[in-house]
């Protein structure tokens, strides 16, 4: 990463929240390509709200915000799908479709985001499943997989459209410690010169074992912390 790298995320004097009531305000944040950062804080402190604002599930309440080339403070509804195609999102509860197998879960996403050629779809699905060591589980239904395996599929799904930016919202929240470490290692491997990750977590053991720049949501603010207070 060079100092000239164009930021993937910029928030300036931003406020986020539900409805018109801000949960976090005066947020100033810059994330450049090749960076991995943690977002920490107590339950209800605004971590998920901030992430949802960054992928335009919630509107920016005040200030300015940019994700990739999209301006959150004035984004049109019709442009939100195009923003999300540049993002990968990993959820705590996996959010796999329970009525279809692993392959068809990923197939559904690619079709929904404009892929048409079956050959290209198959090649892309096989590539991302291979990258998370789940190709041999392509025909399994979600209920036939362990929590860690379901989260691996979620990571694969996040990679389908080769995103520059990945949001991971408590990705280890439903996993045991050993599996959590596997998933964190997998997510950290996603960081490349042109790709960044923001990971919201309350798993401080993970932060201690895999340290990275950290931002804390506390008392309505987002503050940079050199070393998280446990």
pTM check: above 0.75:
yes
Domain count, the chain: 1
SS3 at position 11: strand
- Helix or strand (DSSP H, E) at 73: none
155 assigned to some structural domain:
no
CA–CA separation, 29 and 74 (whole Å): 18
pLDDT digits 0-9 by tens, 169-187: 999 888 888 888 999 999 9
Residue 152 resides in a domain: no
Domain containing residue 17: CATH number: 3.40.50.300
Range of the domain at 16: 1-85+203-230
Residue appearing with tokens 């964190």: 184
Measured N-to-C along each axis, helices 147-159 and 177-188 cross at an angle, to the nearest 10 degrees, of 10
Domain assignment present for residue 17? The answer is: yes
SS3 162: coil
pLDDT in tens, 86-98: 999 998 888 899 9
What residues contact residue 137 under an 8 Å CB cut-off, 6+ apart? Answer: 102, 129, 145, 149, 153
Q: Using one digit for the tens of pLDDT, what is the confidence trace for 40-95?
A: 998 889 999 999 999 999 999 999 999 988 999 999 999 998 998 899 999 888 88
For residue 166 the two structure tokens come to: 């990945």
């Amino acid at each position: 990463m060079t100092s000239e790298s164009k930021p993937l995320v910029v928030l300036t004097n931003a406020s986020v929240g539900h409805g018109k009531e801000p949960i976090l305000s005066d947020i100033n944040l810059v994330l450049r390509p090749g960076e991995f950062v943690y977002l920490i804080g107590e339950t209800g402190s605004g971590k998920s709200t901030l992430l949802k604002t960054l992928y335009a599930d919630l509107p920016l309440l005040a200030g300015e915000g940019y994700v990739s080339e999209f301006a959150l403070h004035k984004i049109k509804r019709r442009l939100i799908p195009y923003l999300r195609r540049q993002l990968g999102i990993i959820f705590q509860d996996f959010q796999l479709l329970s009525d279809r197998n692993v392959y068809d879960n990923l197939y559904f996403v690619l079709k929904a985001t404009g892929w048409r050629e079956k050959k290209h779809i198959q090649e892309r699905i096989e590539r991302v499943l291979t990258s998370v060591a789940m190709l041999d589980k392509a025909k399994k239904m979600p209920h036939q997989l362990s929590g860690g395996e379901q989260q691996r599929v979620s990571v694969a799904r996040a990679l389908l459209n080769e995103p520059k930016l990945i949001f991971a919202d408590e990705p280890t929240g439903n996993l045991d410690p050993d599996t959590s470490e596997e998933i964190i290692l997998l997510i950290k491997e996603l960081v490349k010169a042109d790709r960044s990750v923001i990971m919201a977590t309350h798993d401080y053991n993970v932060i201690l074992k895999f340290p990275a720049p950290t931002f804390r949501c506390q008392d309505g603010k987002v503050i940079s912390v050199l070393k998280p207070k446990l």
